[in-house]
Amino acid sequence: MRLSHVSHQFDGHLVLNDIELHVSPGECVAIVGPSGSGKSTLLYILGLLRKPDQGAFFMDERDVFELDEEELRLLRLHEVGFVFQQAHLIPYLTVLEQLELIQEKRKIDAKQLLTNLGLGHRLHQLPTTLSGGEKQRVAVARALVNSPQLILADEPTASLDYENGRRVMELLAEQAHEEGRRVVVITHDERMLDVCDRVLRVIDGTLTEVNKEERHHEDRFDAIDK
């Protein structure tokens, strides 16, 4: 999966400038960077929710930006799983029903998936009866229910305490390391970066690899900027 020469501007301001990004199966990539640097924009492009002004996005050898709306809709449903900062569960559906609502084919057992994420005893409860960490794990399960090849998460731990946030990050990384999926996660929490294989920083529209020695410094910088 590869973004090639991707550029995007909003109101004359170049947010992403000639971005190259390759994510391999089994890889968990963290994206960091100051507020407003374009992290979410990059994630929406990867999630096929935004088409950039320029560039290509190769998934299985074809440039998906060349596809028509219906083909894109199907790719989004089958190949991409999204987790946001808030769980965004539907208040009147039980935990199990949240998954069944969007499950396309019965490729995987939703009950088993929820059980694997530590929610086996919560299947028939409504979101109002769950803790923040449990809600976010339901959101992760929902992102996985159609077995997507690409999992994207935009600050999925921001509304959680450290322990629950850590658990969610580990679940995401496991999807890469044990299931061979591609995971891209935006985070501001430097304590979460060690579960990822690579850390990339968005700044001034470009993407640079942060090496492990630099990580601590980079994230402090990031926190001050925010």
Ligand X SMILES: Nc1ncnc2c1ncn2[C@@H]1O[C@H](COP(=O)(O)OP(=O)(O)OP(=O)(O)O)[C@@H](O)[C@H]1O
Q: Where do contacts with ligand X occur on this chain (CB under 6 A)?
A: 10-11, 15, 33, 35-41
Beta strands in the chain (DSSP E): 2-10, 13-22, 28-32, 54-59, 62-63, 80-83, 150-154, 182-186, 198-203, 206-210
Closest by Cα among 72, 74, 7 to 42: 7
Residues 82/87/92/98 CA torsion (nearest 10 deg): 40
Binder of residue 137, out of Mg ion, ligand X, none (CB less than 5 to 8 A by kind): none
Smallest gap from residue 80 Cβ to ligand X (A): 17
Task: Give the nearer residue to Mg ion in terms of CB position, either 1 or 32.
Answer: 32
Q: Is 40 in the site for Mg ion (CB under 5 A)?
A: yes
The CA–CA distances, whole Å, from 98 to 47, 119, 139, 179 equal 20, 13, 9, 22
Task: Give the nearer residue to ligand X in terms of CB position, either 37 or 94.
Answer: 37
Binder of residue 162, out of ligand X, Mg ion, none (CB less than 5 to 8 A by kind): none
Residues contacting 102, CB < 8 A, separation 6+: 77, 142, 145, 146
Residues 93/183/148/7 CA torsion (nearest 10 deg): 100
Smallest gap from residue 220 Cβ to ligand X (A): 16
Length of the chain: 226
Mark the segment that binds Mg ion (CB under 5 A) among 35-43, 73-81, 129-137, 200-208.
Answer: 35-43
Smallest gap from residue 8 Cβ to ligand X (A): 8
Task: Give the nearer residue to ligand X in terms of CB position, either 79 or 155.
Answer: 155
Binder of residue 38, out of ligand X, Mg ion, none (CB less than 5 to 8 A by kind): ligand X
d(CA 57, CA 60): 10
Q: Is 157 in the site for Mg ion (CB under 5 A)?
A: no
- Percentages helix, strand, coil for the chain (3-state, rounded to 5) are 40, 25, 35
Task: Give the nearer residue to ligand X in terms of CB position, either 12 or 91.
Answer: 12
Q: Please state, as a whole number, how many other Cβ atoms lie within 10 Å of the Cβ of residue 218.
A: 19
Closest by Cα among 142, 113, 110 to 127: 142
Task: Give the nearer residue to Mg ion in terms of CB position, either 64 or 152.
Answer: 152
Using Cβ positions, the residue closest to Mg ion within the complex turns out to be 40
Q: Is 37 in the site for Mg ion (CB under 5 A)?
A: no
Task: Give the nearer residue to ligand X in terms of CB position, either 79 or 222.
Answer: 222
Mark the segment that binds Mg ion (CB under 5 A) among 13-21, 34-42, 80-88, 193-201.
Answer: 34-42
Binder of residue 35, out of ligand X, Mg ion, none (CB less than 5 to 8 A by kind): ligand X
